[in-house]
Structure 1
């Protein structure tokens, strides 16, 4: 781009003119922005600022944009995705933070801004402010509802512990469990402080809950999330939302034992039971075996006393009832006497019945004499001879019946509708019905002539004079068919006189 200078002539020129030796050159916007950017970055470089977050926004790309302000000024801030993912807390509007970054400009809006490389809370006051805000938000979602807390099993078979494998916490828990009630312990080693600790603790809680009930690795009956004491910053991993949600959603009851008795984390509110120390968590997880043995012995003694007392009372009641009952021989005396009486009556009854049967048999055998049987047989033979039929009578009856049958057959042959067809006649049908008159034939329009061997279809139409006579079925030159001969009915044969009954 050519260098121009504005004319100093007060007459007010319309066009800028380039003059030789002029050192006031016209810069482009991009050139000026680049010079300002270099000047700001070279002058300030990395700075450390303290301010309140305002207008916090996380873009879809993962970058974070916000403003840092105090009571008199505001500066824009941007945090790239990689840096935002390493933050130890979740930034929110109103938090007082200290950031470290590089001051630069953004030519697109003619603004200066800071590219944030790190962000920390400005003191414990800001940390407690973040703690209260997160607590209020999660409580509004119902994660800290006391009604959702589940009871801890009295005698867990397997206890899961989420803590550091090298600290004193796991040793205290194992030592206390061994003293009270030796149990099987599964340790999920995690970081309990620093970057990535919250993600590891949440993954451990969810991992224990995802174990199958009958898998190769037994599923714990109760979980202990434990850590030793420290400052609020040291315990902040257990205030992270990911840990709180994992504890609240765990299908296994959780005992939170983070810090000492005075330390409080959001994990304590989400757990089913809060323990003041990790050692107290082990005491809450299992009872004292010696106390259980004493309690079982006392229950056994009480049970034995109850059983013995019940037996004594039952024995006393049985003895009292036994005194009230009559003696067995008195109860059976009447039944024995009745049995003897019935036995005697049975013997007499059998003898009487046998003697009466003998008399009946003697009377019946006296009536069965041979002469009576022979006379009865002769009478029956005479009756049989009287009812025998003569062959001549049967032949006469058969002849009369045959003649009647022949007459009926000849009559049936004469009344057969197909018999006239053999003599050249035809039967007129229309729509499956017999046509009996010319009017019916003309009304049908189409008729069928049934001959002996075949059928012919004919159309009926009115004559030329407007009459309704049908068209001739034969040519005029052909002789008319012979008139049907009357059929004479066979005279009924004289009915023969009825034969008298043979048994009369």
Structure 2
């Protein structure tokens, strides 16, 4: 039986062993890991990558070669030095291969700075970067409180530093002290100090555990490697973000770390930090006593001066008896005239009342009533004409308003008729525009439909068939692979002018798959190959 698809004949096998790719990769991996089980490599870090998985990928390079390195997530968190591009380090780890991309790499287990020069260069680079962000700006530093009630100390609880601070505070001015124990060197130093600063700031003022009014971050002296935790970016940012004023007291007077620039105040030593935190109580007491004595002397002197001034002014006033004698005399004279005047006024009022009382009688009251009755009758006669006049005026006013209302209604009705006329006119215009727009819209839609139909015809596969291509189907499914075509019992090939049914056959040995051989007999459709 002829075959529709034929494979090339394999070449004759040689004497050499055939290795698989996995075998070669495994052998290379065993050789490299056996020869370089644990190595220390010195080089400059380049192209650091920190993907979301938590692993660290970077390169170690010198002037002639580059070595890829990786620190897995668990080990990366423990590295004493975080990889930064451009610093020279010594990496300790083991060599291995990555068969997926035919490359070898160093799995880093420890990382250290290659020398103090490189360490200082990295420190200076970090200082410039943080300064550019404004973390060291003097304008953002807060003043230290004069006498804090509670002082928070971030340091090691077992060193001499905390004892010196407590002793100095007790000697100068005893205050409440909260100690947050931290590691002051090593890998845990930076995260511990940053958490301590943030933890003190998170305390609620006036809560069960009082929030400090001042923070002191302290550590004794040491080498630059010992103090390196206070140069870490996480510590500097925590100090800059602290809402509580912070004093940095790290190392001796000659030691400088990056937290010194971010703190609100730098102390040369931890003991000096305690001295800056509180004043001397005895000196304050002496100052208060001195100020009190000065206030007492000033008050006494002022009282003496005012008393002397009052005495001088009182001598110029004269005797009080001489000042009040004329007024007392006028009062006595007026009092002597008051009694006769009251008696005379009473007698005059009594005589006037007697004269008026003699004229009052029934005839006077009758005359008063008659006069009031005449006035009432006169007013009653004027009331009827007044009411008639008021009613007439009111009626005339109502007639005037009714006439105005009729005119207003007529004007409103005319305006409404004019609005209806204008509306009908606008409706006629809109109908005319609609009648003219519909045919034009139909023409545009027909043109658009024709364009879409032309695009459909152009992009359809039937046009592709007209250019010489064909579509192969196995039943209703399209066939795009030779293996699928071999497995199908029957194929149908569609051309531009119709479809042809074919049946694939097995390819004879020694002939490549896909070589075309004519089919002889058996099928009226024939063979396309």
The C-alpha deviation readout for 1:226-280, integer Å capped at 9, x for no partner, is 0010001101111111111111111111111110000111111111111000110
Q: Which 10-residue stretch deviates more, 241-250 or 356-365?
A: 356-365
RMSD of aligned Cα (Å): 2.3
Residue number among 186, 190, 198 corresponding to 1:198 in the alignment: 190
1:171 maps to which of 163, 167, 180: 163
Q: Distance in 1 between matches of 2:81 and 2:41?
A: 18
Q: Does 1:92 align with 2:84?
A: yes
* 1:108 Cα deviation after fit: 2.6
Q: Distance in 2 between matches of 1:190 and 1:360?
A: 111
Change (3 A) 1:102 1:359: closer
> In 2, Cα distance between the equivalents of 1:81 and 1:247?
27
Aligned to 1:219: 211
Q: Residues 349 and 231 from structure 1, CA distance in 2 versus in 1: closer, same or farther, beyond 3 angstroms?
A: same
Distance 1:366 1:238, change over 3 A: closer
Q: What are the within-5 Å matches in structure 2 for residues 18-417 of structure 1?
A: 18-19=13-14, 22=15, 24-364=16-356, 376=363
How far apart are 1:304 and its partner, in Å?
0.9
SS across alignment from 2:287:
helix
> Aligned residue for 2:456?
none
| Cα displacement (A) at 1:195 | 2.2
User: Shift of residue 367 of structure 1?
Assistant: 5.8
Q: 1:358 to 1:73 in 2, by over 3 A?
A: closer
How many Å apart are 1:97 and its aligned residue? 0.4
Q: Deviations for 1:268-325, whole angstroms, at most 9, x for unmatched residues? A: 1111111000110110011111111111111111111111121122112212221222
C-alpha contact (below 8 Å) 2:81/2:111 kept by paired residues: no
Alpha-carbon distance in 2 for matches of 1:363, 1:82:
128
| Aligned-residue offset at 1:54 | 0.7
Q: SS at the partner of 1:55?
A: strand
Preserved contact between residue 158 and residue 218 of structure 1 (Cα < 8 Å): yes
Secondary structure class of the residue paired with 1:102:
strand
Partner in structure 2 of residue 17 of structure 1: 12
Change (3 A) 1:212 1:366: closer
Aligned length: 362
Greater relative CO (CA pairs within 8 A, separation 6+): 2
Question: 5+ residue gaps in structure 2?
Answer: 1-7, 371-529
Question: Which whole-Å CA distance do the structure 2 matches of 1:114 and 1:367 have between them?
Answer: 141
Q: Is the CA contact 1:89–1:240 (under 8 Å) kept in the aligned structure 2?
A: no
Structure 1 pair 40/344, CA: closer, same or farther in 2 (3 Å)? Answer: same
Output the CA distance in 1 between the equivalents of 2:105 and 2:343. 137
Structure 1: distance between partners of 2:317 and 2:310? 11
**Partner residue in 1 for 2:423:** none
C-alpha displacement of 1:61: 0.7
**Per-residue deviation at 1:189?**
1.2
Whole-angstrom CA distance in 2 between matches of 1:30 and 1:367? 151
CA distance in 2, matches of 1:198, 1:70: 30
Distance of aligned partners of 1:45 and 1:333 in 2 relative to their CA distance in 1, 3 Å threshold:
same
Residue by residue over 1:347-385, the C-alpha shift from the partner in whole angstroms, topping out at 9 and shown as x without a partner, is 2211221332343355456667xxxx69x59x98xx9xx
Q: Please identify the structure whose Cα radius of gyration is greater.
A: 1
CA apart distance, 1:346: 1.6
Alpha-carbon distance between aligned partners in 1 of 2:110 and 2:346, rounded to the nearest angstrom:
128
In the TM superposition, residue 169 of structure 1 has moved relative to its aligned partner by: 0.4
TM-score by length of 1: 0.68
